[in-house]
Amino acid sequence: MTLPDFRRRKAGNQRISFVTCYDCAFARLVAQTDLDCILVGDSVAMVVHGHPSTLAADLPMMLFHTESVARGAGGKFIVGDMPFLEHRKGQSEAVSAAQALLRAGAQAIKLEGAAGNLEIIQSLVEGGVPVMGHVGLTPQFIHAFGGFKVQGREDAAAERILADAKALEASGVFSIVLEGIPATLGKRITDALSIPTIGIGAGPDCDGQVLVLHDLLGFTEKPPKFARAFGEVASASVTALRAYDEAVKTNTFPTEKESYA
């Protein structure tokens, strides 16, 4: 994927597939597939580090994981998440963070919310940084929203999210993540924009979809309604770990073949 491909896909009504990824080992697996893009999401703080929200993902954490993913991604288009409030520290901090994420191996950054971000987004885009927007249930707003709650159910809220998406498009983002909104609103926004929308819990009419890697591999105990486990990798891992434990305890591992002469 390149930036022009995003518009081409939308124009040609061809779906775009995104998956989150946080390390080199999994990036090497993603690289073996036809998945289009990788998002090094700040969900890493929850999925990998066990935090209750994404707020714990700071810039060093995002750089560490972006570098790791870039080593295994085999040329896939990588988007790195701007951590909570990093871009609100000031223009120069926002530019430094974007610069660091691109130097770590991302080809683009993603930034949550619209109000108050439009100027910095425009300035980053003018400076050569591809920026992805993110509206709806933006997880960095967990405390403002009072939890992980579907957004845009009421008419006024839906209009606000649609207006935010249009404002982001006007400020130069190349694509927008629509998260946790009614499917009808996902379709409305998708129809209203000329850039592709990437949905997660935003219904089937978005121009592409993104899922959290650990949700789709079956690692998440209580996955959100919108997620689907396409495999049961977690239980397969537990089976392998138990087999290893038993082999050690019954002294059937290692064998002579697994030992040096």
Nearer Cβ to ligand KIV (158/200) = 200
Tokens linked to 106: 């991302």
Strand partners, 78: 38
Least distance CB 83 / ligand KIV (angstroms): 10
Which residues ranging from 206 to 225 are in contact with ligand KIV (CB under 6 A)? 210, 212
Interior angle at CA 175, CA 173 and CA 179, nearest 5: 115
Confirm whether 246 is a catalytic residue. Answer: no
Nearer Cβ to ligand KIV (25/247) = 25
Contact 160, 188 (CB under 8 A): no
Contact 109, 98 (CB under 8 A): yes
Side-chain half-sphere CA neighbours of 119 within 13 A: 5
Q: According to the binding rule CB under 6 A, does residue 43 interact with ligand KIV?
A: yes
Q: How many other β-carbons are positioned within 10 Å of the β-carbon of residue 41?
A: 29
Which residues ranging from 52 to 71 are in contact with ligand KIV (CB under 6 A)? 54
Q: According to the binding rule CB under 6 A, does residue 169 interact with ligand KIV?
A: no
40's CB contacts (< 8 A; 6+ apart) are 20, 21, 22, 62, 65, 66, 69, 78, 79, 80, 81, 106
Nearer Cβ to ligand KIV (36/42) = 42
Tokens linked to 10: 């939308």
Least distance CB 40 / ligand KIV (angstroms): 8
* Contact residue for ligand KIV among 100, 158, 177, 178 (CB under 6 A): 177
The identity of residue 73, as a single letter, is: A
Least distance CB 37 / ligand KIV (angstroms): 11
The 19-38 contact track toward ligand KIV, x by CB under 6 A, reads -x------------------
CA 186 to chain centre: 17
Which residues ranging from 95 to 154 are in contact with ligand KIV (CB under 6 A)? none
Catalytic residues: 179
**Chain contacts with ligand KIV (rule: CB under 6 A):** 20, 39, 41-43, 54, 81, 177, 179, 200, 210, 212
